[in-house]
A = this chain, B = another copy of it.
Amino acid sequence: MDNNHWILTAQCPSRLGTIDAVTGLLYNNQHYITELHSFDDSHSNQFFIRAQFRANASFDEVAFRQEFSVKAEQFDMQWQLRATADKPKIVIMVSKFDHCLNDLLYKHRIGQLSIEIPAIISNHPDLESLAQWHGIPYYHLPVSAETKPAQEAKVMQIIKDVDAELVVLARYMQVLSPQLCQHLEGWAINIHHSLLPGFKGAKPYHQAYEKGVKTVGATAHYINDDLDEGPIIAQGIDSVDHAYYPEDLVAKGRDIERVTLSRAVRYHVEQRVFLNGQRTVVFAD
């Protein structure tokens, strides 16, 4: 993707003219739309749009923002503009299981995920050498019931210091405090190893085994203040049978989890995900 490609996203109450507000303005400024998605939700009466465009040679970001903000105000739009070359900064939190981390680092390394990873935070020291090999700072912040407030304060400080705009919980096996959850609401993605809303809470593969399901899965979702209940971004699935003991589900689940989490992270950083109440709109590719 060469320079001068931009992504404009917006959402607002449904109304005549919402699409034209975006497409018309881009056309009038001679910007070439290369990819366009929109969705008008007749249940929530919310409108969502994502336009990827190649700006004309004389593109002036400040002027464009000014011009669009007038339109946006008319339609009560929340909106974002960013260059596709812009790499969002992501902090990854992890404990000991590193199948998701390994996949994110791999996709980051080969450029399949267009992100920066300024920090990996873990409550265990185990994965430091993996982080090191990828040249990424590793913060080992052990946590116990007593130290949790202090530890979370450090977590928040790091996130702030590196100016992260997304936090990814890549199998971080600690329950976050309500305060941290609230702080991260809408800009932190968690991977839960079940097809939510089935098997919330601890040991979902063991729960799935007990129930005797023939399908297992994983769910990537934004966190909110209700455990395993935030808006779902992506789900992955696979078939199993009676011969899968819990440890076999765990093993099979690794590939499902990492693919699902990577996909959700990519959708987020490519500005493809919108919050729509407790649900999401995802303009997948």
The secondary-structure label for the interface of chain A is mixed
A237 CB contacts on chain B under 8 angstroms: 215, 237
By beta carbon, the residue of chain B nearest A15 is B32
Asked if residues A195 and B215 are in contact (CB atoms below 8 Å), the reply is yes
Can you give 14 A-B contacts (C-beta < 8 A)? A16-B32, A19-B27, A19-B33, A20-B20, A20-B27, A102-B102, A102-B106, A196-B198, A212-B231, A212-B276, A212-B278, A212-B280, A213-B235, A214-B232
By beta carbon, the residue of chain B nearest A21 is B27
Task: Mark A192-222 against chain B: 1 for CB-CB distance below 8 A, else 0.
Answer: 0001111100000000001111110100000
- A4 at the A/B interface (Cβ < 8 Å)? no
A99 CB contacts on chain B under 8 angstroms: 106, 110
By beta carbon, the residue of chain B nearest A284 is B241
- In the complex, A259→B262 CA distance in Å? 15
Contact pick for A242, options B129, B217, B276, CB 8 Å: B276
A83 CB to closest chain B CB (Å) equals: 19
Asked if residues B214 and A234 are in contact (CB atoms below 8 Å), the reply is yes
- A39 at the A/B interface (Cβ < 8 Å)? yes
A265 CB to closest chain B CB (Å) equals: 14
By beta carbon, the residue of chain B nearest A18 is B33
A235 CB to closest chain B CB (Å) equals: 4
- A42 at the A/B interface (Cβ < 8 Å)? yes
- In the complex, A129→B276 CA distance in Å? 45
**This chain's copy number in the assembly:** 4
Most buried by B among A214, A217, A244, A254: A214
A207 CB to closest chain B CB (Å) equals: 9
Asked if residues A255 and B259 are in contact (CB atoms below 8 Å), the reply is yes
A217 CB contacts on chain B under 8 angstroms: 215
- A279 at the A/B interface (Cβ < 8 Å)? yes
Asked if residues B24 and A20 are in contact (CB atoms below 8 Å), the reply is yes
- A160 at the A/B interface (Cβ < 8 Å)? no
Known: A16-B30, A34-B40, A213-B232. 5 other contacts (CB 8 A): A17-B27, A24-B24, A197-B211, A211-B278, A215-B217
- In the complex, A280→B211 CA distance in Å? 10
